[in-house]
Structure formats: C-alpha cells, structure tokens
Amino acid sequence: TSNTLLLNTCFIPHNLLSLSETIPISERMAANALMSCGIAAVCPSVLSSSKSKFAAALPLPHGGASAASRFTMTADWMPGQPRPPYLDGSAPGDFGFDPLRLGEVPENLERYKESELIHCRWAMLAVPGILIPEALGLGNWVKAQEWAAVPGGQATYLGNPVPWGTLPTILVIEFLSIAFVEHQRSMEKDPEKKKYPGGAFDPLGYSKDPVKFEEYKVKEIKNGRLALLAFVGFCVQQSAYPGTGPLENLATHLADPWHNNIGDVIIPRGILP
C-alpha cells in the first residue's frame, strides 16, 4: 500500500490530486509516515501545489529544508573559528587565517597574495644561503657582509673575490636588475601570471600536469612560510648573540642546554644558578 501511494504521489498530475479526500485514512497515515522519512525531498513538486488537498494533508517536517541549508565554513587554522567570507579556500595555502581582516578589500587581498609569495621565494633562497656556507666552514652570514663596512672592501663568494665586487658597483647592478624584473612584473595585468609567470624554463616539467601543478603551489607556499619563520629566527638569534651564525648557536645550545638558551638572554644573570 505504501509503495502504491508513493507512486501515485509522484506521478499523478496536480489537477487530479484534488480527489485525494477519497483516499482511505490508513493510506493517509502511511503517507504521513513516508513524508516524515524524507519523501518530500524526492517529490517536491507535489507539495508545491497550493490547490492540492492531499498536499495540505502531508506537511513538510519543520526544519527539514533549513537544516540542509545550514552550513558554516570554519577556518582550518583554528577549529571553530569562522572563516572570513573573502577567504574561500581557492588560493594555495588558504586556511582562513586573517585575524586582522587585512584582506577584506579584494584589490588588497590580491596584492597581499602576490607579496607573500614573492617574499616566500626570497626566504627559500636566503635560508639555504645562510646555512650551507656555515655548514661548509666558510663563515656565517653575519661576517660575510663585514667587507661592505670597509672602505674599498672587496666582496668574496665562498672565499673567492667577486668581479666588480666593490659596494657601489654591486648596488648599481642590483638596483638595475631588480628594477627591470619588477617593471616587467608590474606590466602584467593578470594577477595569476604575476604570481606564476610561467615561461619556457621548466626543465623538470612541473607545470605539465594541472593537478600536480596545483599541489606544487600549495607545497611552495607552505615551504615558503616555513622559510620566512626560519629567517625571522635567524634574525632574533643574531640579535641575542651578535656575531654568531645559526648553526654555531645551535651547537652551543646543544652542548649546554640549561645555560645556553633564551633564558640566558631575557633573564638577568644574577638570578640563574
């Protein structure tokens, strides 16, 4: 009986549903049970007819439609924290983190995305450039720039003099090079091409597979953010122990963790044992 009533409900034209008062009370009760199980979602057109007495006898359960429509996006960086509407997760590495609401203006948001990515790439170049020479015993990144403070000082790279290695010459070369690159990037109107310009240089074919390329974008921004934090750590460490590199400072800490740590800097020495 219930199956027959379901078929009748879904396929009988609306103009015939006015005859539903002839349906026995037992079948009406069965229809109510079916509707409470969600049949209204299967045959919504039946309920939409205001002329049908049968539709009036089968009310939609309260909250049935609204419960399905209630959906709140939460930020991935803090469970339960609402995600800002302008951070929809479409950008690589977007976890809904913007506690200061800096990206509410769309133009600013695109600029911040571009700036973050560029700084991430610089940081990923800087961090290995700091660690590798020190690991090879070629000096730390702090002492590497001391030549610039000496009048007529000559720049060296891994112990070898650099051609045109005087400070004024290097500054001019860097200024012209960066100005040319930034000018070319500023002329691009497509925000995606500003961040991922593409080009012929892709020897490993990372951009050939669109799915993999999107995955690489996320990996790039994650590693870049880690490199930014690492560089900030290098700067803080250098401020606490001037003249030492990060690896030297790490070795000193591991040799005596109880006396060579952040407390040695922020806690007066008379308090420590």
Residue 220 assigned ligand-binding role: yes
Q: What is the DSSP string of 125-161?
A: HHHHHHHHHHHTTS--TTGGGGGGGSTT---EETTEE
Which of 195, 198, 221 is closest to 210 using CA atoms? 198
Residue 101 assigned ligand-binding role: no
Instruction: Give the span between the Cα atoms of 205 and 121, in whole angstroms.
Output: 19
Instruction: Give the span between the Cα atoms of 138 and 129, in whole angstroms.
Output: 11
Instruction: Give the span between the Cα atoms of 90 and 95, in whole angstroms.
Output: 10
Residue 185 assigned ligand-binding role: no
Instruction: Give the span between the Cα atoms of 91 and 61, in whole angstroms.
Output: 39
Residue 145 assigned ligand-binding role: no
Residue 28 assigned ligand-binding role: no
Residue 253 assigned ligand-binding role: yes
> What's phi and psi for 157, nearest 5 deg?
-130, 115
Binding site, annotated residues for chlorophyll b:
121
Binding site, annotated residues for chlorophyll a:
116, 119, 219-220, 223, 225, 237, 253
Binding site, annotated residues:
116, 119, 121, 219-220, 223, 225, 237, 253
